[in-house]
Amino acid sequence: SERWNLLYANQLSTEEFKKLADDTHQYLNQVPQQTHETNTQLLEIVMAQDFQDLTGQVIKKMMDMFKNLETEMLTLLVQFSPEHKKGELDSSLLNGPVINPEGQPDAVSNQQQVDDLLESLGF
């Protein structure tokens, strides 16, 4: 570009102009090959991204299917297991919200305390 600017400013000799024209011609002959290589590399990038997207979609569908299968199998096992094999329901697992928070330092009783707790955890 600098050499072409010098040419337009009439500051190049005839020999320098011939050299500039030859260099420009060689460059222009190389451009199609360089653009083809760039195009090939860009195509590979796009294909890799498409493959990753498709793979992610397949994995998500498979995980949804496995989750559904697990839920159905668990339901089936619970429904058709013998009564003597079913354990007693552990009532300690049915703990609900704390009705009387007095004397329990880890209990929260209003939304502000919940918000403060979540904020302290980084949420």
pLDDT digits (tens, 9 = 90+) for 18-77: 999 999 999 999 999 999 999 999 998 888 887 777 888 888 899 999 999 999 998 888
Dihedral Cα 27, 30, 34, 35, nearest 10 deg: 90
Is the model's pLDDT at 88 over the cut of 70? Answer: no
Predicted TM-score (pTM) of this structure: 0.36
Tell me whether residue 105 is in a domain: no
Tally of helices (H runs) and strands (E runs) in the chain: 3, 0
Tell me whether residue 51 is in a domain: yes
Total domain count, the chain: 1
Tell me whether residue 104 is in a domain: no
In terms of residue numbers, what domain contains 50? Answer: 1-79
Answer for the pair 108, 114: CB distance below 8 angstroms, yes or no.
Answer: yes
Answer for the pair 20, 9: CB distance below 8 angstroms, yes or no.
Answer: no
Tell me whether residue 11 is in a domain: yes
Quote the Cα angle for 112-116-122, to 5°. Answer: 145
